[in-house]
Amino acid sequence: MDERAKLVEVLTDLVEINNDRVAGYEQAAAQSKDIDADLHTIFHNMANDSRRYAAELTEEVNKLGKRVFRGEAIKGKIYQIWKDLKATFSGYDRQSILESCEFGEDTVQKSYNAALASEIDAQTRVIITNQKAWLKTAHKMVKNYRNAHWKMIA
């Protein structure tokens, strides 16, 4: 596989994980709507962030003369965890929603780490590194909300 094809594969993997993150947070927002207005808003914002990230990555794929097709075979299949996450919401309480979202965010970070460990050009590395930093902030926010909720119920 040539370098360009590898780069397309890396970018496509990240588009998929962001699309699945959108779906996961839309599910979380729907389930938190009647529980917590703050979480509902935060989850919508996180879904919108991933829409932007996926669009930015798709643009990079398009610049390489390729297209992103939803559901393409993905090397690591890490994105599947976000898809499975939608089915794992065991309840509609704040704690279970936050735990599921934190698990999903762990998966996103693994995907971005894998992308950064691959051979990519400097411009793409900057895009992925910047997105990863914002996603790490989101991950910390979810974790902090989960921890704060644990303290409230303990």
**Rounded Cα distance, 117 and 52, in Å:** 23
Q: Would you give per-residue pLDDT tens digits along the chain (154 residues)?
A: 688 889 999 999 999 999 989 988 998 888 888 878 888 999 999 999 999 999 999 999 999 988 887 654 454 445 455 545 545 555 567 888 888 888 889 989 999 999 999 989 999 999 999 999 999 999 999 999 888 866 665 5
Which pTM does this prediction carry?
Answer: 0.84
Look at residue 71 in the predicted model and tell me its pLDDT.
56
pLDDT in tens, 66-99: 888 765 445 444 545 554 554 555 556 788 888 8
**Rounded Cα distance, 96 and 1, in Å:** 42
Of the candidates 142, 149, 148, the one whose C-alpha atom is nearest the C-alpha of residue 45 is: 142
